[in-house]
Amino acid sequence: MANSKYEYVRNFERDEILLPNTWIVVRIDGRGFHKLSNYYGFTKPNDRRALRLMNRAATHVVGSIPEITIAYGVSDEYSFVLHRGTTLFERRKDKIVTTVVSSFTAAYVLGWNECFLEGKEGDLESTAEGPVKGAPALTMEMLPTFDGRAVCYPSWENLRDYLSWRQVDCHINNLYNTTFWALVQQGGMTHVAAEEHLKGTVSGDKNEILWSRFGINYNNEEEMYKKGSVVFREYALEEEASTRAADDVGEDTDEGTGISGPISKTQAEKIRKARRKAKVVTKHVDIIRDEFWVQRPWLRSGKPGRPVEEHTES
């Protein structure tokens, strides 16, 4: 074929394969969201509509990629966790990362109007601020975009620590931002003055400022703001699940090897389908302590749990 003369250029392509048997975290970050949030008039310190749009986009991504075990989001970032045993796209890094980034972006852009403009109150939960009818429509001049990266974590403890890192960060930033904007919006300070005021303060100081000057009890702030958002497939909770899931013991299972082992292709496809059907939920809960994980062993094992009988969302 005439093309053969040029086809040698394919030899310059490289596929990076993510190390098997490691947890893959794809983290996406909003690009220039500080500027974007000003442009579109996001509410400070937290814009409920914008956060819910993030959560919807994440729910779409989790729902459409069954290999994603759990996702955690805060502010304009989201982390998607793929199970250590996944062979999605043969674990090709670029393919995995760009698929997540593109899916998230598409869902975010398409969902924008619904979250910001149409004001389906019931859907958005009743809230003081509510959907702002006058929010500007998306324009090509200021498109929301996200960059992304993949990181591999070899042990369950590493993965847990990663997610704890993000949730602690959420807490630290939200406490700071809540106090900062109280000083600015209610205290009448300039941005610079508020920043100066908070320099060197610890958590206790900020809680005290909020309470004594503005009557705000930080503990009563919305869970979504304080805890971030956790998106995952929900099954029936288990009361006494062991924290030691199969993948680290390995004596009686092949999971510790990162290969599907005795699981046939038919079984794998069956699991994939079961995951597709499972309900994807969004919670604003602590994921640092063990409780969340003990009750949901399927997050670690990668195997579907028992279907939820009754609706028990928080």
Provide CB contacts within 8 A for 186, sequence distance 6+: 213, 214
Q: Which amino acid is at 143?
A: L
Give the range of 127-135, 233-241, 250-258, 302-310 binding its own copies by CB under 8 A.
Answer: 250-258
Residue numbers 120-139 binding its own copies by CB under 8 A: 138
Q: Which of 53, 62, 74, 97 is in the footprint of its own copies by CB under 8 A?
A: 97
Task: Report the nearest approach of its own copies to the CB of residue 250 (Å).
Answer: 4
Q: What backbone torsions phi and psi does residue 257 show, to the nearest 5 degrees?
A: -100, -15
Binding-site positions for Mg(2+) read 29-30, 76
Binding-site positions for GTP read 29-34, 75-76
Provide CB contacts within 8 A for 136, sequence distance 6+: 39, 40, 41
For helices 93-116 and 48-64, the axis angle rounded to 10 degrees is 140
Task: Report the nearest approach of its own copies to the CB of residue 108 (Å).
Answer: 8
* 231 lies in the site for its own copies, by CB under 8 A: no
Three-class HEC string of 189-227: CCHHHHHHHHCCCCHHHHHHHHHHHHCCCHHHCCHHHHH
| C-beta closer to its own copies: residue 258 or 297 | 258
* 156 lies in the site for its own copies, by CB under 8 A: yes
* 58 lies in the site for its own copies, by CB under 8 A: no
Task: Report the nearest approach of its own copies to the CB of residue 270 (Å).
Answer: 22
Task: Report the nearest approach of its own copies to the CB of residue 68 (Å).
Answer: 15
* 1 lies in the site for its own copies, by CB under 8 A: yes
Task: Tally Cβ neighbours within 10 Å of residue 216.
Answer: 17
How many residues contact its own copies, by CB under 8 A? 74
Q: Which of 66, 85, 111, 297 is in the footprint of its own copies by CB under 8 A?
A: 111
* 252 lies in the site for its own copies, by CB under 8 A: no
Residue numbers 167-196 binding its own copies by CB under 8 A: 168-169, 172
Q: Which of 150, 183, 278, 299 is in the footprint of its own copies by CB under 8 A?
A: 150
Instruction: Output the CA angle 58-29-174, nearest 5 degrees.
Output: 85
**Structure tokens, 184:** 């600015």
Q: Which of 126, 128, 140, 252 is in the footprint of its own copies by CB under 8 A?
A: 140
The residues that bridge with 79 in the sheet, in sequence order, are 27, 72
The two most distant CA atoms of the chain are separated, in Å, by 78
* 60 lies in the site for its own copies, by CB under 8 A: yes
Rounded distance between C-alpha atoms, residue 209 and residue 45, angstroms = 16
Task: Report the nearest approach of its own copies to the CB of residue 35 (Å).
Answer: 13
